[in-house]
Structure 1
Amino acid sequence: MSGFRSLPLMRLATGTIVLAWPLLVGFGLAHNGLHWLLPVMAVLLLLRLFQVRKQAGPMRRVLQSVALAGIALCVASSMLKAHQLLLFYPVVVNLVMLAVFGGSLWSAMPLVERLARLREPNLPPEGVRYTRQVTRIWCLFFIVNGSVALFTALHGDMRLWTAWNGVIAYLLMGILMAGEWLVRRRLMKRVQP
């Protein structure tokens, strides 16, 4: 396994499987191809689990939890022949992210502050307050996104599920990240001498 962890192509493949989950599941359900796609997805997620096992940083446990959730859903879906279980992966991802980000609000250093300190070890007090606010905003995003993902999974309309979980949610996430980056830049210009 150690040889696979260092291959950039394998890292790309395992990262892509996590991001492309809605599109792969939508394709597999539409074309009756999950019987061969499920084992491939599970193996790639298992490789992802091994890859992130030795990573340092605050996101390691998040990535491990997401990979484990995907593996569990692949195995359960295959064993129970209930492929609708795969539709709940985005819900589980949002729950994991909410638990990690939200749980960090009760620690001495929220997750966004830990991430910010990787680039700016001497974060000013304004930056600390800002990162706490950003952590709260991400928690709200995970609640809303997870709720919509749950609705789409329960509703059963594959076009709606794929559109939300495979496109719209990523666009909203990108907009939130870009907006946060712009606000952070303005804040840092104000606090720097």
Structure 2
Amino acid sequence: MFVALSVAYPLVVYWAMGRFEPRWLAVLLLVLALLRALATRQAVWLVAAAGAAVLAALATVFNQALPLKLYPALINAVLLVVFAASLAFPPTAVERIARLSEPDLPPSGVAYTRRVTQVWCGFFVLNGALALATALWMSDRAWALYNGLIAYGLIGLLFGVEWLVRQRVRAGHRHG
């Protein structure tokens, strides 16, 4: 249920905006961020929860929806920091994930996962910028459409393209 609520956050906020004051929706944001932080117990999600708390406080004090709409941009920023930091302090985020299924990752695999981590960093920059732009300058409907549907489609597309590229890279290393 937690994962479903996290994914559906933009759609839930869009649906609720005309029905509830933003200060009450801020409770949803805070609960969602705290649950994620407690479930993972990772420092990065504690930082994200702190950021979400600031957004929730702003939504509560000013009774405005904008802070609630900034949450997807915040999550992209957090993920960008995590992935970019792993480039500076290896192993990269993607290498760590890859080693869960392939502990003896060859040097070519390490290089490949580094490149994929860089691609994800680029994605988080672009997706975060679009999430921010939709929150600041577009209608609530456009914000919900992008952050609640299109962004997830782009994530799925990136996963799919990366999987296809990985298959070709692996085949090239087996034959090369």
When normalised by structure 2's length, the TM-score is 0.87
Offset of residue 89 of structure 1: 0.6
Q: Residues of 2 paired with 1:180 and 1:170: CA distance?
A: 15
Task: Give the conservation status (yes or no) of the 8 Å contact 2:29–2:68.
Answer: no
Pairing partner for 2:145 from 135, 146, 163:
163
Q: Which runs of 4+ in 1 moved over 6 A?
A: none
Q: Residues of 2 paired with 1:138 and 1:41: CA distance?
A: 25
Q: In the alignment, which residue of structure 1 is the partner of 2:76?
A: 94
* 1:62-101 → structure 2 map (5 Å cutoff): 62-101=44-83
Offset of residue 36 of structure 1: 4.3
Q: Percent identity?
A: 40
Task: Give the conservation status (yes or no) of the 8 Å contact 2:84–2:121.
Answer: yes
Q: Does 1:173 align with 2:161?
A: no
Q: Residues of 2 paired with 1:36 and 1:85: CA distance?
A: 13
Offset of residue 48 of structure 1: 2.9
Offset of residue 113 of structure 1: 0.9
RMSD over aligned Cα atoms:
2.1
Q: Which amino acid aligns with 1:104?
A: S
Q: Residues of 2 paired with 1:187 and 1:173: CA distance?
A: 21
Offset of residue 160 of structure 1: 0.9
Q: In the alignment, which residue of structure 2 is the partner of 1:130?
A: 112
Q: Deviations over 1:125-181 (max 9, x none)?
A: 111111111011101111111111111111141111111111111000000011112
Q: Residues of 2 paired with 1:152 and 1:133: CA distance?
A: 29
When normalised by structure 1's length, the TM-score is 0.80
Q: In the alignment, which residue of structure 1 is the partner of 2:101?
A: 119
Query: Aligned pairs, how many?
Result: 175
Q: Which amino acid aligns with 1:140?
A: G
Q: Residues of 1 paired with 2:171 and 2:43: CA distance?
A: 33
Q: In the alignment, which residue of structure 2 is the partner of 1:21?
A: 9
Task: Give the conservation status (yes or no) of the 8 Å contact 1:112–1:134.
Answer: yes
Offset of residue 20 of structure 1: 1.3
SS at match of 1:20: helix
Q: Does 1:148 align with 2:148?
A: no
Change (3 A) 1:155 1:40: closer
Q: Residues of 2 paired with 1:150 and 1:15: CA distance?
A: 22
Q: Tell me, which stretches of 5 or more residues in structure 2 are unaligned?
A: none
Task: Give the conservation status (yes or no) of the 8 Å contact 1:17–1:41.
Answer: no
Q: Residues of 2 paired with 1:72 and 1:18: CA distance?
A: 18
Task: Give the conservation status (yes or no) of the 8 Å contact 1:112–1:131.
Answer: yes
Q: Residues of 2 paired with 1:15 and 1:67: CA distance?
A: 15
Q: Residues of 2 paired with 1:91 and 1:190: CA distance?
A: 37
Offset of residue 192 of structure 1: 4.3
Q: Residues of 2 paired with 1:192 and 1:63: CA distance?
A: 39
SS at match of 2:120: helix
Q: Tell me, which stretches of 5 or more residues in structure 1 are unaligned?
A: 1-12, 54-59
